[in-house]
Structure 1
Amino acid sequence: VFLLARDADNTRTLVRNFLALVIAGLLYLGLDHGLLAPLQGVSPSLLMLVAFFVALGVGVPVSFSLMFGVFLANSASFILPAPAIVQNMVTGSTKFILLAIPFFLSTGYLLNLGGLSTRLIDFASSMVGHLRGGLAHVNVLNSLMVGGISGSSSADAASSTKILVPEMVQRGYSPAFSCAVTASSAILPNVVPPAIAMLVYASVANVSIARLFMAGILPAILCAGVLMGVSYLISVRRQYQTATARAPWSDVWRSFLRALPVLVITVGVLGGIRFGIITATEAGVIALIWTFVLGKFVFREYGWKKFYRAFAECGTDAALVGFLIAASVPFAWVLIAEQVPQEIVAWASTIVDGQLGLFIILLVVLAAAGMFLDLTPAMLIIAPLFLPMMTNAGVDPVQLGIIIIIVLQLGGVSPPVGLLVFISSQIAKVSPSAVFRAVVPFIAGAMVVVVLLCLFPFLTVGLWELWG
């Protein structure tokens, strides 16, 4: 009914939807008449993966591609009955920690709606705006601070493009470079805590969310420093925005006080979780309420209609994430039931030796997956496969999680999918191909940080150990 009612005034769309329903009905009837009999001898994992990538290739959304692969594999091999698949989906998507996702997503939406991100931009500008390429540094530093509150890369890419890119272009930066800085710095919200990606990984790997949050602080600062360094070198080479006089300390202090009510959120979330006062989910509730009170009642930046529209949009995004997690659970279950992780471990041990070799294999797989899949589905598929192998080799699952998140997030700025690049280029009306070329130095810089994280575990797990 929904398909036939959608765009009913467009004859071409109506015919296409009707044919889709007819084909789906014929396939459904065919299941009772041995349609899948020739596939019964095929490995369920192989059949599932092939079906998944074929569906993805013809434009089926990721969640439905995952479900299609699972149901096809199980219908052909009878490895799981259909009710068990649904039960797996429900069980996997109802973990308590996943409740934090809609709360932090909502916080990010209200952060932009309430004009609170502008206060962070003013504070960042007062600190680094005087440097060569100052607005590029402001862009990166703003993403670092916003990431500690919203945890959403897409939201950061969209808001920073709307606010900062026009100003950068007006001051002489090329549009492609401005979008490249914005898109590459938008990886930070999924690295600096509290990040949505960390919550998803914690639910998959069963690791402490508090440890994971703490582990993201130093890598996020390193990534921000590298991105600012690349911005500086390019700004010097192209003579973008010469250095100016440093802002007076009175201006810095004033902008800090304006941004302080927002910065309190990050400190409260991290401190509360680290010292066991609140859980990650409770921290999300507190952050949401605090952001709502600031934007609606203290600064009076929006009315109830804008609030409703923002919440409706955020509700859709949160539902998409939840449905994606649910669809990935039986997908991973089939792989584990087929002992695919064990086979990967055995294969990897025959061609490489030690942690370094395993990291090389992992990085290659992550880079390839990140180019075609979004961060969340790629992590939900890859993490269960490599987690046993890496932990057996002595790699801390928290260290592994941060590395997985960063490398997969770089897929958001890599062709052909490059979601963050497309968001920024579409809003700024810049050619995506030009932005993809401009973002290459930033990707190279971020990969240097990834190599350091692989070689020095202290950069991820050390801060937690120092805090006792």
Structure 2
Amino acid sequence: MTWALTVAFLATLALGIPVAFCLALSSLVFLLLSGDIPLHLIPQRMFTGMDSFPLMAVPFFILAGELMNSAGITQKIVRFSTALVGHIRGGLAHVNIVASMFFAGISGSAVADTAALGSILIPAMEKDGYSKSFSAAVTASSSVIGPIIPPSIPVVIYALVGSVSVGGLFLAGVVPGVLIGVGLMVVAYFLAKKHGYGTKQPRVSFGEFLQALWGAIIPLLMPLIILGGILSGVFTPTEAASVAVAYAVVVGLLVLRTLKLSHLPDIFYRSMLTTSTILMVMACANIFSWILGTEMIPQKVAKVITSLSENPYVLLLLINLLLFVVGCFLEGLAAIIIMVPILLPIAQHAGIDPIHFGIVVVMNLMIGLITPPLGLCLFVCCSVSKVDLVELVRANMPFLLVELITLFLVAYVPQVVLFLPRLFGY
């Protein structure tokens, strides 16, 4: 009956049905055709898919990001990034990338980074002489950093599915995220120089730099509080997420005073909408995963992959290619829930560290956010910049190439990922 599950899933996906319902409907088709499995399994598996205390970290991190963004911290981060790298050739492109790296420590979501920074920086870059397609490409490609540098919602989901330490994964994402940012800045520099993008900006004075740093220090402390609390054992990742919310409320209402009580209903609404989408995907994916398990699909896939080669390097290449293709067609969180139970045992059998493998998986699937046909960050940038999708994809190719090179560096040089986790005993 596996063929029915596969056909139903691909058919509903091709029809443009949301991923959560694709998973649910294809699972329903399988159960109806099997005939001997009671349908009350569906609500039971949906409930168990969401019945997890660590999963509570997801809505809290989403809410913390919404609160900090509504408090106006985006402008403060952009101002500090401008003081830091605005004087380099292609200054606003570098500001865009560095701001994404800083913003990653707050939102943990690539799409949120694209929307928040794109609405500010794409018009500013156009005004400064950058082409629309280049501005949108920089914004989309740098947003991939968001779910890699901690805190990260996809990393939390991977940790739940793969039973891996959240703290270790958070630490493991720091160096790869910085490497992607540096690589994007190098490409932006040469493209800006080649096309004459941007006006020459003077280096800010030391006093202006300190003023910009002081304005950004409060929002930038949040990821340090989260990581510090987890690593010191003061609180769990779930508790760290709730502390982040409390910190965001205090900063927005009492310190910066840019967050008003009247803003809270809309913030809670947006947070609930995003959370419910993620939880629905997880609930429906749990039914799908249960069917895959009972049909022994992971074992069959593992047998096929390992029959091609037992070499860890070749296995990593095959897994990377598979994840890249999956990321082009499937939303990242759903792909993690479906693919990790299949691929993680193969990786562990080949001697690949689960923390290392987790960052490889997340990076691969997040790159899918800037690849057609379902790259969400591409569509957000198209909406903000009014650039044609084909034009944006073409402009994004140099940045995509850098991210793929970084991905393979991370995949084949595990020390890049594992240095910080090993330093802290993970």
The answer to whether the superposition gives a TM-score over 0.5 is yes
Please say if residues 128 and 199 of structure 2, whose CA atoms lie closer than 8 Å, have aligned partners that are also in contact.
no
Report 1:350-429 matches (<5 A): 350-429=307-386
Matched with 1:291 is 248
User: 1:82 aligned to 26, 39, 54, which one?
Assistant: 39
- Please tell me whether residue 211 in structure 1 is matched to residue 168 in structure 2: yes
Q: Which residue number corresponds to residue 231 of structure 1?
A: 188
5 Å-filtered alignment, 1:337-348, equals 337-348=294-305
Q: Which has the higher contact order (CA 8 A, sep 6+)?
A: 2
Residue in 1 that maps onto 2:142 = 185
Deviations 1:15-48 (A, max 9, x none): xxxxxxxxxxxxxxxxxxxxxxxxxxxx2x3211
Task: Name the SS for the 2:59 alignment partner.
Answer: helix
Report what 1:99 is aligned to: 56
Q: CA-to-partner distance for each residue in 1:125-158, whole Å, 9 max, x for gaps?
A: 1010000111111111111111111111111100
Query: What secondary structure, in the 3-state scheme, does the structure 1 residue paired with 2:40 have?
Result: helix
How far apart are residue 87 of structure 1 and its match?
1.4
Q: State the AA in 1 paired with 2:273.
A: T
What does the per-residue CA deviation read over 1:176-203, in whole Å, with 9 as the maximum and x for residues that have no partner?
1101110111111100011000111111
**1:12 corresponds to:** none
Provide, for residues 402-444 of structure 1, a one-character-per-residue CA deviation record: whole Å limited to 9, x for no partner.
1111111111111111110100110222212211111111111
RMSD: 1.3
What residue is the counterpart of 1:141 in the other structure?
98
CA deviations 1:2-23 (Å, max 9, x no partner) are xxxxxxxxxxxxxxxxxxxxxx
Task: Give how far 1:242 is off.
Answer: 5.1
Q: Does the Cα contact within 8 Å between 2:129 and 2:199 map onto a contact in 1?
A: no
TM-score, length-scaled by structure 1: 0.89
Tell me the equivalent position of 2:116.
159
Q: Specify the alignment match of 1:49 in structure 2.
A: 6
Matching of residue 128 in structure 1 with residue 85 in structure 2: yes
Partner Cα separation in structure 2 for residue 391 and residue 264 of structure 1? 35
Any conservation in 2 of the 1:413–1:419 contact (CA below 8 Å)?
yes
Alignment of 1:229-378 (within 5 A): 229-241=186-198, 243-378=200-335
SS in 2 for 1:277: coil
1:277, 1:302 → 2: CA distance?
A: 28
- The one-character-per-residue Cα deviations of 1:73-110 (angstroms, maximum 9, x if unpaired) are 11211464222232122112121111011111111111
Structure with max Cα Rg: 1
Query: TM-score when scaled to structure 2?
Result: 0.97
* Residues 310-339 of structure 1: CA deviation (Å, up to 9, x unaligned): 211211110110111111012111112211
1:459 and 1:46 map into 2 onto residues whose CA distance is 40
Q: Distance in 2 between matches of 1:99 and 1:467?
A: 25
Distance 1:176 1:314, change over 3 A: same
Q: Distance in 2 between matches of 1:307 and 1:384?
A: 38
C-alpha contact (below 8 Å) 2:9/2:26 kept by paired residues: yes
Shift of 1:307: 2.1
List runs of 5+ in structure 2 lacking aligned partners: none
Match of 1:119 among 36, 59, 76: 76
Distance, in Å, in 1 between the alignment partners of 2:38 and 2:194 is 62
Q: Is the 8 A contact 1:341 1:389 kept in 2?
A: no
CA distance in 2, matches of 1:269, 1:192: 12
Q: 1:173 to 1:312 in 2, by over 3 A?
A: same
Output the amino acid matched with 2:147.
N
CA distance in structure 2 between the partners assigned to 1:78 and 1:101 by the alignment? 36
Alignment partners' CA distance in 2, 1:179 and 1:388: 38
After superposition, the C-alpha distances for 1:275-308 in whole angstroms (9 at most, x for unaligned) are 2111111111111111122122322224333221
Task: Give 1:22's aligned residue.
Answer: none
Task: Pick closer, same or farther for the CA change 1:79–1:355 going to 2, 3 Å.
Answer: farther
For 2:78, what is the secondary structure of its paired residue?
helix
Equivalent position SS for 1:261: helix
Structure 1 segments, 4+ long, off by >6 Å, are none
CA distance in 2 between counterparts of 1:401 and 1:136 reads 29
Find the counterpart in structure 2 of residue 17 from structure 1.
none
Give distance in 1, aligned partners of 2:22 and 2:139. Answer: 30
Percent of pairs identical after alignment?
33
Q: 1:154 is matched by which residue type in structure 2?
A: V
Per-residue deviation at 1:400? 0.9
**Cα offset, 1:349, TM superposition:** 1.9
Aligned residue type for 1:443: L
Task: List runs of 5+ in structure 1 lacking aligned partners.
Answer: 1-42
User: Is contact 2:53–2:238 with CA below 8 Å preserved after alignment?
Assistant: yes
For 1:201, the aligned partner's letter is Y
